[in-house]
Amino acid sequence: MEFNKEHKIIGIRVLRDNVIWLWKKNRSAVVIDPALSLPVKEYLKTNNLNLEAILQTHHHSDHIGGTRELIKEWPNVKVIASFKEKDRIPFQNSSVKDGDTLELLDEEVKVLEVIGHTRSHIAFYINNNVPILFIGDTLFSAGCGRIFEGTYKQMYYSLKRIKSLPINTLIYCAHEYTKLNLLWALNLEPENQNIKNKLIEVEKKIALKELTIPCLLEEEMKVNLFLRADDLKGFSFLRANKDSWV
């Protein structure tokens, strides 16, 4: 995915449904939430890229599992993570907080705290001509993250923050959950044509072995029931329903 002529973002599938995002410009690259090191190493070396930074949205092992090995290969790499996660992401060497801005690959990257899934989850936002959001596990296409350490209220307000971004924002989430999320949503709203149309589109991409993400915020506002929740009570019902859905 290009958001200007020189920048590209590619997705590397790993584990069961994780996606490692790799943002590159010229001969430099930034990797987001590397669950594993080997596929990242192979891509970088094959394409003669230098790893400049690793962005960590939160501490879960399927997001930081490859970081230690990448540090060994690129010892000068910046490992950027929440200052609140120094105990759980101890190899971070650039600690950030909500509202901080970074300069990466000649772009300004803003740190947004979006808690709920974990106690200190952050996202990385690039407000370019096509805005980019590396969101980790807070939002998925047609879904949102489970609430492990936070509260329903925290997650609800994190999603409201995402909704306040420009509608042409491309959202790069860290898991390929789209089809299952849409099937759940369709179970609740069986006559919703937007969800039906999105499911058809997603099934075509899956048949072609393509990723169904990133997703566009404008479209998510139509098909993502969590983003469409009118209030905290409605959101809480949806999250509990999704948690118990088979």
Peptide bond into 214 cis (omega under 30): yes
Tokens of 228: 């469409």
Find the helix or strand (DSSP H, E) in which 233 lies: helix 232-244
Question: 5-59: per-residue pLDDT in tens?
Answer: 567 999 999 999 999 999 999 999 999 999 999 999 999 999 999 999 999 999 9
Cβ-Cβ contacts under 8 Å for 186 (sequence gap 6 or more): 192, 195, 196, 199
The one-letter amino acid at 65:
G
Domain ranges of the chain: 7-176
Question: 185-225: per-residue pLDDT in tens?
Answer: 999 999 999 999 999 999 999 999 999 999 999 999 999 99
Residue 78: count of CB within 10 angstroms of its CB = 16
Per-residue pLDDT, 55: 98
Residue 39: count of CB within 10 angstroms of its CB = 16
CA distance 43 to 27: 12
The reported pTM is 0.96
Give yes or no for residue 124 having a pLDDT over 80: yes
27 phi/psi in degrees, rounded to 5: -105, 15
What CATH number does domain 7-176 carry, 3.60.15.10, 3.30.360.10, 3.90.420.10, 3.30.300.160?
3.60.15.10
